[in-house]
Amino acid sequence: MRGMIDFFRIICHNKRSLIGLIILVIFILMATAGPFIFKLNMTVDYNNRYLSPSLEHWLGTDFAGRDTFIQLVHGSKEVLLVGLLAAFFTLFVGALLGTLSGLVGGRLDAGIMLITNLFLTIPSFPILIIMAAIFSIRDPISFALVLSAWSWPGLTRAVRSQIISLKERDFIVICKVMGMSKPHIIFKELMPSITSFLSISFIMTMRGAITGSVGIMMLGLAPYSPTNWGQMLNLAVSQTGGIFNPLGFIYLFSPILCLAFFQLGSIFFANGIDEALNPRLRG
Amino acid sequence: MTPVIVLKRIGMAFVTVCLATVMTFVLLRLTPGNAIDAWARDYATQFGITLEEAYRRIAAMINYNPNEPLHEQFVRYISGLLHGNLGVSMVYQQITVNSIIANAMPWTIFVATISLFISFVIGMLLGVRMAWKRNSVLEPSVSLFTVITSAIPDFIFAILLLVVFAYGLNWFPVNGAYDPFVTPGFNLDFIVSVLYYATMPILTFVITNIGGWALMMKGNAVSVLGEDYIIAAKARGISESVIMNRYVMKNAMLPMITMLAITFGSMLGGATLIENIFQYPGIGYFLGEATRTRDYTVMQGIMLFLSVTMIVANLIADLVYSKLDPRIKVEG
């Protein structure tokens, strides 16, 4: 508990990370509570298209007379869910393989590194869109799996190098000499030292996954949800729902601004985490 | 770098190319079989031949016959590749994948090279100045710029440029690579038109890449500035601009040459979204088109081509780097 309080004290102390935290909390609230408060209605209503913002429609309506703000709120749930799942899968695979590779070494290490390097040298975005086309994505879980299929190698390599450099440090060597068990060394000594690194990687992977998912959606390759920000951009740009008519600009710019703010929030917050969890940086 | 290590690196690159080939083969195998079945049925009725004959002819066109056993499929696929034949498009059956790549590649390379060059040079100059004058306004403003440009994905910048400069102000064209009324060839009109149409894709890449280069350069330049030979040069009374441009710039640039090759490789693949937004007929645009129309042979061919390009770019980066900087010890 004390650790948590300390953590938030340090986050709040740093102006940047506080701003990041606030932005992220707003988005999380928007994604979790939002869809329950605002009911989505996607029926086409041509009499009310391109309305300006008003009390009834906070951000006006889109090219088919549907409320832009409510679409944005429901979209945030989709976007964040995909990002969260993808980051979770990536972290799991990356941390597991990276730790194994770093600790065991030898043949296993060489094998894992060969596969990792293969994945790293294949251009990831093209293969992502091809996989999206072949597996015809219909739900957040399969979307997240496709996205994480190409984001684990970077993390694996980074975790491996962290583990290798830690392995030779005095305190780990002493643990070994004292005859402590392997699981104890791994979970009680090694893991806490890379927690800050892993949490930052989690946020950054989520950030990358969200960019990737919005990009794929924008190309119209995963059209399972009409309110996802990427799908909104696709409708606005490719289907010309928002680029010709200045009245449609709110529909075009609201997902863009949300995406930008979310990314900025993640970067700022990640900066703060590094300071909060990495005692060496506090000084 | 000893010849043994060079050979080892080339060998590794070769293994990676082989694995990438196997991967694209697997990808093609995942193609829903009914796409080819439907094609074969159409083909048989169109030319009045038997279904088997149709499968055989299609197999000759795309190096793939779903009815053959796996190992025969693989042999057919590899022998096609060794003949430099990536098959024909499944949607436009008269067009070969080779010709699509050959037509699209110059546009992508053109945009990537120019934008890489511009952003690299500007980034270099900014980075050195940031390191040289630590307490100026340059440093915080470039940092802020970098945070913003790295937070906002490049395709968002592409949309913004498109909306503001093409649709809003009508300064730049909305799509295409050159004015359709200009005759392609080596004449002034054509060159001007090509540059004009490429401005916005180039601008997108430049905006999103400058920050990264500047910060990287600053980091390198700061460590170079701490070296003894810089202090010695100052003590000898060499002018600031000479130290900055000859001593610091040259030494700090070295490690970035590697990044240049790697970035070039990844830009070819990363151009997909931007080329689709500007409908610029580069390789990424055709990849997007092929994916939308489920043109599996084109997808597979472009994918393989991009992978090989990236592997080769990485290899060149590796080899060139150790040549450029004799201080580097390469481990095998």
pLDDT at A277 over 80: no
CA atoms within 13 A on the CB side of B262: 13
Q: How confident is the model at residue A85 (pLDDT cuts 50, 70, 90)?
A: very high
Read off φ and ψ for residue B96, nearest 5 degrees. Answer: -85, 155
Q: Lowest mean pLDDT: which of A194-208, A248-262, B184-198?
A: B184-198
Taking a C-beta distance cutoff of 8 angstroms, is the pair B256, B220 a contact?
Answer: yes
- Report the residue from A114, A134, A267 with minimal CB separation from B27: A134
Strand partners, A67: A61
- Inter-chain touch B151–A252, beta carbons under 8 Å: no
Is A257's Cβ below 8 Å from some Cβ in B? Answer: no
Q: Cα separation of A108 and B12, whole Å?
A: 17
- Inter-chain touch A118–B307, beta carbons under 8 Å: no
- Inter-chain touch B272–A126, beta carbons under 8 Å: yes
Residues in chain B: 332
pLDDT at A261 over 80: yes
DSSP 3-state of B42? helix
Quickly list H helices, A149-277: 152-167, 170-177, 182-184, 191-218, 229-237, 249-277
Q: Cα separation of A79 and A73, whole Å?
A: 10
Give the B window 165-204 contacts with A, CB below 8 Å. 167
What pLDDT is attached to residue A135?
Answer: 76
- Inter-chain touch A123–B15, beta carbons under 8 Å: no
Percentage above 70 pLDDT, chain A: 85
Chain A: residue whose CA lies nearest to B275: A219
Interface mutation target, options B23, B162, B163, chain A, most CBs of A under 10 Å: B163
- Inter-chain touch A117–B30, beta carbons under 8 Å: no
What pLDDT is attached to residue B332?
Answer: 43
End-to-end CA distance of chain A: 23
Is A118's Cβ below 8 Å from some Cβ in B? Answer: yes
Quickly list H helices, B48-180: 51-62, 70-82, 97-132, 138-151, 154-161
Distance from CA of A239 to the nearest CA of B (A): 12
Is B15's Cβ below 8 Å from some Cβ in A? Answer: yes
Interface mutation target, options A19, A27, A121, chain B, most CBs of B under 10 Å: A121
What pLDDT is attached to residue B164?
Answer: 80
Residue A193 one-letter amino acid: S
Chain B: residue whose CA lies nearest to A216: B273
| Cα angle, residue B138 at apex, residues B134 and B139 outer, rounded to 5° | 55
- Inter-chain touch B270–A252, beta carbons under 8 Å: no
* Six token digits for residue B296: 């599996």
What pLDDT is attached to residue B72?
Answer: 77
Contacts of A134 in chain B (CB under 8 A): 27, 30-31
Is B302's Cβ below 8 Å from some Cβ in A? Answer: yes
What pLDDT is attached to residue B328?
Answer: 56
Quickly list H helices, B226-248: 228-235, 240-242
- What does each of the 332 residues of chain B score in pLDDT, given as a tens digit? 677 878 888 888 888 888 888 888 887 677 666 667 777 777 777 777 777 777 777 777 777 776 677 777 788 788 877 877 777 777 777 788 888 888 888 888 888 899 999 999 998 888 888 888 777 788 888 888 888 887 788 888 888 888 788 777 777 777 776 777 777 777 777 777 778 778 888 888 898 888 888 888 888 888 888 788 888 888 888 888 888 878 888 888 877 877 787 788 778 877 888 888 888 888 888 888 888 887 788 888 888 888 888 888 888 877 777 676 666 555 44
Mean pLDDT taken over chain A: 80
Chain B: residue whose CA lies nearest to A122: B307
Q: How confident is the model at residue A281 (pLDDT cuts 50, 70, 90)?
A: low
Q: Cα separation of B143 and B7, whole Å?
A: 41
Contacts of B287 in chain A (CB under 8 A): 126, 129-130
Instruction: Report which of residues B68 and A77 the model is more confident about.
Output: A77
Global pTM?
A: 0.80
Read off φ and ψ for residue A57, nearest 5 degrees. Answer: -115, 100
Instruction: Report which of residues B41 and A241 the model is more confident about.
Output: B41
DSSP 3-state of A136? coil
Contacts of A114 in chain B (CB under 8 A): 15
Is A126's Cβ below 8 Å from some Cβ in B? Answer: yes
Distance from CA of B307 to the nearest CA of A (A): 5
What pLDDT is attached to residue B256?
Answer: 80
Q: How confident is the model at residue A90 (pLDDT cuts 50, 70, 90)?
A: very high
- Inter-chain touch A121–B307, beta carbons under 8 Å: yes
Please provide the DSSP assignment of B74-106 as one string.
HHHHHHHHHTT---B-SSSTTSBHHHHHHHHHH
What pLDDT is attached to residue A1?
Answer: 58
What pLDDT is attached to residue A257?
Answer: 85
What pLDDT is attached to residue B93?
Answer: 73
Q: Cα separation of A103 and B313, whole Å?
A: 31
Is B328's Cβ below 8 Å from some Cβ in A? Answer: no
What pLDDT is attached to residue B118?
Answer: 93
- Inter-chain touch A130–B303, beta carbons under 8 Å: yes
Distance from CA of B52 to the nearest CA of A (A): 26
Residue B139 one-letter amino acid: E
Q: Cα separation of B42 and A75, whole Å?
A: 41
Alpha carbon B266 to its chain's center: 5
pLDDT at A59 over 80: no
Contacts of B291 in chain A (CB under 8 A): 129-130, 132-133, 219, 221
Contacts of A233 in chain B (CB under 8 A): 159
- Inter-chain touch A219–B277, beta carbons under 8 Å: no
What pLDDT is attached to residue B131?
Answer: 82
Taking a C-beta distance cutoff of 8 angstroms, is the pair A198, A90 a contact?
Answer: no
What pLDDT is attached to residue B326?
Answer: 62
Alpha carbon B270 to its chain's center: 6
Contacts of A217 in chain B (CB under 8 A): none
Instruction: Report which of residues B65 and A31 the model is more confident about.
Output: A31
End-to-end CA distance of chain B: 9
